[in-house]
Structure 1
């Protein structure tokens, strides 16, 4: 698919500088450079700045905010010109005011302002801003969010139970007891545009907002090819047999650490039989209905959520640009 890498989080050409992650001298030289900057996250929320809070904040490494709060640091890569960009996690900080009832909701609307942060900066939900920030900001924020989430959930060695240590500038953990090495986890997920004639198959999960449907999706199992995962998931969730399957595009999805494989498949039948343990509902929608939903005029179907690969695939299906 020619437009594959234009999907949100699709990549910005960042030089991730993997060859420098284990070079302590090189890392110190990068930190000492005047151009070195760090982005900051707090409980999965990046620090944004600007009047609309739609620009990823890049702080000098000696910023008072970083001096006040400890937290793990990782090397994200090199910006154009060779300046290093790091990431710091400040999840140990506790705001004076915190509405816990909204934390972790589908779209957390709250913002947290650090007393030592830039005047126009606040921690905010990435999902709400992912379509308004640059491709580079999106890649940096998604990478930091996913890696720090992995560090928080994998503090102990899976082999012996000893607390492991972060090494290689944040890209690996090492167990001091049994010497097992642990690497960041990425969960492969298939999400599929299943069509039959002029219609596309969509489903919804329990608890979603009223009118919200999306393309069917599911995790790839160990030892399973992507194409087989597409056919299995569609049959398990909706009882639909799928024939030919084609890969279209991928999207890193840091909620918490998935890699979405966007595919299209041809349905061999159209009689839906849902598994209520998997999804709440599934329906066929015509091209005309999807177009109406994108325009905000469908009485039962909300527009596909901007930034998600489902929206990207549906939009390009409507425009006949999947090749």
Structure 2
């Protein structure tokens, strides 16, 4: 029987692939008006190209960072910060930019096979590369969806190292936004775990219940509301576990566990719209079915980490 879940939250956070980082974001440098000319004029600067939600990979376990001369001159840039990894090819302190490339620019830089999906390769990346890819893709998604002012419809210009977009007519600044979402490992009195199947998935794919935090709502309130809305189950004692950025396109997944309310447990019933099936699993049942009749979330997700935290070890699939 697997060991019971550790109470060490630091240990849990270490299991989250996209929460790793070895980059100093060096935010004060974003104020420099000569930041990009200075960095592009230094061939020791390294640039991570991103395009269409993908990053440039050298191998399955490492990103491909390029010198400034390898990047199309009209590419939109974002300053990611300074490398802190002493085991990387680049020395500690190396400045790193992201280049947000159009389709045409991406084809000039690399073949299609060299572009990789972070969800697929996150677990094999180093701490630095996982952090770089997550940061770069998240900010690239924000730029793609904020080309125009939500107030006036006028075009916005990227400033301050790519971390602000400004309306050049009235000076109004738009800053990056992240959408918080809760994701919850719900257990009952018998310590069984509740998993649900989403209407958009294969019928045998199961994961934890999750949902976005609404305006004016605390994280704990969102836990109680979302679980009830999707499953009919009422929960209590929401306990924070850890969080992981999820740049697909702009979420922060905030992990909790909670238990069914002993006084008012509700009635287990999927909402029928988003969730079409719900199941309680013992550890033995999940281990027996994982990878066979039940498909679990990928190892890059916080859902997988919470499930295995409850289980007590990794689950083979």
Q: TM-score range by the shorter chain?
A: 0.7 to 0.9
More deviation, 2-11/185-194 = 2-11
SS in 2 for 1:272: coil
Contact 2:244 2:252 in 1 (8 A): yes
Structure in which a larger fraction of residues adopt helix: 2
Q: 191, 207, 217: which one pairs with 1:214?
A: 207
Alignment of 1:127-146 (within 5 A): 127-146=119-138
Specify the alignment match of 1:161 in structure 2: 153
Contact 2:230 2:274 in 1 (8 A): yes
1:47-76 Cα deviation digits (max 9, x unpaired):
1113xx43210000111xx13x63210000
Write the mapping of 1:47-86 to structure 2, written as runs, cut at 5 A.
47-50=56-59, 53-63=60-70, 66-67=71-72, 70-80=74-84, 81-86=92-97
**Contact (CA 8 Å) 1:192, 1:263: kept in 2 or not?**
yes
Cα offset, 1:94, TM superposition: 7.4
* Maintained 8 Å contact 2:197/2:203: no
Give TM-score scaled by structure 2 length. 0.87
Q: Does 1:317 align with 2:310?
A: yes
Map of 2:193 onto structure 1: 200
Paired residues of 1:47 and 1:56 also in contact (CA < 8 A): yes
Q: Give the number of aligned pairs.
A: 294
Higher relative contact order (CA 8 A, sep 6+): 2
1:305 shift after superposition = 1.6
User: 1:160·1:178 contact (CA, 8 Å) conserved in 2?
Assistant: no
TM superposition shift of 1:115: 5.2
CA-atom RMSD in angstroms: 2.1
- 2:120/2:300 contact within 8 Å kept: no
Q: Deviations over 1:249-279 (max 9, x none)?
A: 1000011010000000011237312211231
Query: How far does the alpha carbon of each residue in 1:139-179 deviate from its partner, in whole angstroms, 9 at most, with x for none?
Result: 11111111111111111101111111111111110011232
- Which residue among 274, 290, 308 is the counterpart of 1:278? 274
* CA deviation vs aligned residue, 1:261-319 (integer Å, no higher than 9, x gap): 0000011237312211231221111121222345x3x5x31233211101001111111
The answer to whether residue 32 in structure 2 is matched with residue 11 in structure 1 is no
CA contact (8 A) 1:49 1:120 kept: no
Residues 37 and 86, structure 1, Cα contact 8 Å, conserved in 2: yes
Q: Structure 2 regions of 5+ residues with no counterpart?
A: 1-8, 85-91
Runs of 4+ in 1 over 6 A off after TM superposition: none
Structure 1, unaligned runs of 5 or more: 96-113
TM-score by length of 1: 0.85
Please tell me whether the aligned partners of residues 250 and 259 of structure 1 are also in contact (alpha carbons under 8 angstroms): yes
Deviates more, 1:7-16 or 1:162-171: 7-16
